[in-house]
Amino acid sequence: MRPLFARYPSLTDVLPCAEFADLPTPVAALGNDGRGWIKRDDLTHPVYGGNKIRKLEFIIGEWRQQQVREVITFGATGTNAGLATALACQQEGIPCRVLLFDQPVSATVRANLQAMQQLGARLDYCGSLFQTALRYYLHPLRLQRGRYFLFAGCANPAATFAYVNAAFELKAQIDDGVLPEPVEIVVPVGSSSTLAGLTLGCRLAGLKTAVIGVRVAPSHLGLIPACTPATVFSQIRTAHAFLNRHIHGGLSFPAPRPILLDDYYGPGYGESTPEALSAIGLFAEQHGIKLEQTYSGKAAACFIDRMRNSAGPVLFWNTFNSRPAGNLPTAAVRYPLSPPLARLLDA
Ligand SMILES: Cc1ncc(COP(=O)(O)O)c(C=O)c1O
């Protein structure tokens, strides 16, 4: 049983969880001085890890409960969330459609694109983020029953609860003496449910730890706020209100405010920074852990700075898959790539 439900059995009836992930993820010391620690959410699944798999536990729970017949999501061409969703759909036997927008092309982007196709997802290239978002919100399948529209980054209230549960998992590891209570947790922030869930979950689990979010996605899309303290807080408030209703006696504290840093974002989404590249090199050389430039590298740059200046242990929450490519299942039916996506793979 997941630790959130062990603590609050009344939530079992209202938060379906498919136990899709391989949990708890390990925690390890980074170095010998006890100052740096890592939570290995890169190992959440035997063939493909990362934070999306943890979110999908609770999302699949909703698919099963709602008897979903197709999942429609969107993301950048190298979307980790799209890949994880395609894997979950393949394992659940549910068709998956991923609407894609452009991002800087890299080896990871190409590998993820190929993997989504291998898993049997239908990939619809839509061009810009704006065009993709329009297609997603105005999609004709919205009029049909049994369709589950999953926001980019696997972000929805179910996903937030997955990271509330993750905070309880960490609390159990602290109680078991696996690591000391960290002063801070550092985590990358895109669609924000990881930060929202951990911020609320740490408070609920009785940890004094501050959760430091490192923004790695644009703060606004045009004029619309997308990744700001207010957008994260709105996710926290939604989850807080739900728990307040379903936990016996309600919650004894108001919805906590998130901490979101802008300083490590650099020139744009998916574009690396010198600090991220140096953090990626350091993690590879000193700890044998592979990070990347879009998410974990930028968060690791922040982690290194925080650890140097912190009065106590700091935990880096690794959200990027580290399982080797090549072990993903192959779907019986594979859809051909449209010309723009095929060109991207050949380039
Ligand atoms: C590897 C990785 N880390 C972190 C994030 C950010 O997590 P969240 O979308 O919950 O903010 C994402 C997804 O956007 C991701 O793919």
Q: What is the radius of gyration, based on Cα positions, of the chain?
A: 19
Kindly give the number of the ligand 1 atom that is closest to the alpha carbon of 50.
1
Ligand 1, atom 1: nearest CA belongs to which residue?
A: 320
| Domains defined for the chain, CATH in brackets | 3-51+156-318 (3.40.50.1100), 54-155+338-346 (3.40.50.1100)
Q: State the DSSP string of 270-286.
A: T---HHHHHHHHHIIII
The beta-strand segments (E) located in the chain are 27-29, 36-40, 70-76, 96-101, 122-127, 147-150, 184-189, 210-215, 220-221, 224-225, 259-261, 314-318
What per-residue confidence (pLDDT) applies to 137?
97
Neighbour count for residue 140 (Cβ, 10 Å)? 8
Total residue length of the chain: 347
Question: What whole-number distance in Å separates Cα of residue 118 and Cα of residue 87?
Answer: 10
Dump pLDDT digits (tens) for 224-273: 999 999 999 999 999 999 999 999 999 999 999 999 999 999 999 888 99
What per-residue confidence (pLDDT) applies to 346?
84
Residue partners of 13: CB distance under 8 A and separation at least 6? none
Question: What whole-number distance in Å separates Cα of residue 88 and Cα of residue 328?
Answer: 11
Dump pLDDT digits (tens) for 161-170: 999 999 999 9
Any ligand 1 atom below 6 A from CB of 256: no
Any ligand 1 atom below 6 A from CB of 25: no
For the record, the structure tokens of 83 come out as 């890949």
What per-residue confidence (pLDDT) applies to 104?
84
Residue partners of 119: CB distance under 8 A and separation at least 6? 83, 86, 87, 89, 90, 96, 328, 329, 330, 331
Kindly give the number of the ligand 1 atom that is closest to the alpha carbon of 192.
11
Any ligand 1 atom below 6 A from CB of 318: no
Dump pLDDT digits (tens) for 114-159: 999 999 999 999 999 999 999 999 999 999 999 999 999 999 999 9
Higher-pLDDT residue of 326, 92: 92
Dump pLDDT digits (tens) for 66-85: 999 999 999 999 999 999 99
| Span from the CA of 250 to the centroid of ligand 1 (angstroms) | 30
Any ligand 1 atom below 6 A from CB of 270: no
What is the arithmetic mean of pLDDT over 276-300? Answer: 96
Any ligand 1 atom below 6 A from CB of 155: yes
Question: What whole-number distance in Å separates Cα of residue 124 and Cα of residue 103?
Answer: 15
Given ligand 1 and candidates 227, 295, 320, which is best to mutate, with the most ligand atoms within 8 Å of its CB? 295
- Whole-number Cα distances in Å, 67 to 60, 70, 112, 150: 10, 9, 27, 15
Closest C-alpha among 54, 72, 71, 74 to residue 4:
54
Contact 190, 228 (CB under 8 A): no
Question: What whole-number distance in Å separates Cα of residue 39 and Cα of residue 72?
Answer: 30
Taking 90 as the threshold, does the pLDDT of residue 325 lie above it?
no
Backbone angles phi, psi at 219, to 5 degrees: -70, -35
